Amino acid sequence: MDDSDLTHDAFLGGQVHAWQPREGFRTGVDAVLLAAAVPARAGQFVLELGCGAAVASLCLHRRVPELWLCGVEVQPLYAALARRNAAEAATELVVAESDLLALPAEVRNLDFDHVMMNPPYFTREAGSASANAGRDIARAGETRLDDWIEVATRRLRPGGVLTLIQRVERLPEVLAAMDSRLGAVQVLPVAPRGGQSAGLFLLRAIKGRKSPFRLRPTLVMHRGMRHGDAGDGYAPEVEAVLRHGQALAGFED
């Protein structure tokens, strides 16, 4: 793909830049929220499943520079872009071009402190396929959601943290896919505006922890009740994440 077919997009107020296809699946706010929700500390190992162009990994690395990062991406174009974006950001990110269900030995043989992921939001049954292959795989891939959860659980070390973002209607499916190996589950609903239903949720779970389930207060993205309201814009805590790269404060440590 020629550079004329790509865009060079800014994230975190210009602290992170990434090449993405002009047409096809394009990373947005979701990846930034995902990275902000990962409670990583310096020196830890982080795996991103379905890393795409690696925007989430790059945003996490911007906040916590001393991490060992690995990404898995099945689409060759996006895997290549992830490597390019990491190299241009001087970020050490190992990208495995692989299906989740056939991970290479260098990934299978490692345990991670964190696994983060943004699985496809839709199922094949939910609608017709996209004409753009990259968008189609990203929005409704062939791998089942319970397989994503299983792969993530296997790759976590005891005490490791799973962090994911997903559409709220798939919350029951996500919870059903999690077994007794994961506990201390926290769900943070994400709503576009006050008075509106949550469209997304962020979830954290800890391998081997038995703490009770927690439903956190909804994160409201915008200040105004409607687009164009006076003073509309991102809420201050969201602005701190999206523009300044701060950690998301909606979870309980």
If you write DSSP's letter for every residue of 28-68 in order, what string do you get? -HHHHHHHHH----TT-EEEEET-TTSHHHHHHHHHS-S-E
Give the pLDDT band (50/70/90) at residue 246: very high
Q: Hey, where are the domains in the chain?
A: 3-180+201-206
Give the pLDDT band (50/70/90) at residue 230: low
Cα distance from N-terminal residue to C-terminal residue, the chain: 43
Phi, psi of 100 (to 5 degrees): -60, -30
Q: What is the pLDDT of residue 134?
A: 46
Q: What is the pLDDT of residue 224?
A: 81
CA distances from residue 31 to 108, 138, 207, 213 in whole angstroms, order as listed: 24, 13, 23, 24
Which residues in the chain belong to E strands, given as ranges? 6-11, 16-21, 45-49, 68-73, 93-97, 112-117, 156-167, 182-191, 200-207, 214-215, 219-220
CATH class of the domain whose range is 3-180+201-206: alpha beta
The answer to which of 57-71, 177-191, 224-238 has the lowest mean pLDDT is 224-238
Structure tokens at 21: 């296809």
Closest CA to 49 of 143, 152, 158: 152
pLDDT in tens, 114-162: 999 999 998 745 545 545 444 444 444 679 999 999 999 999 999 999 9
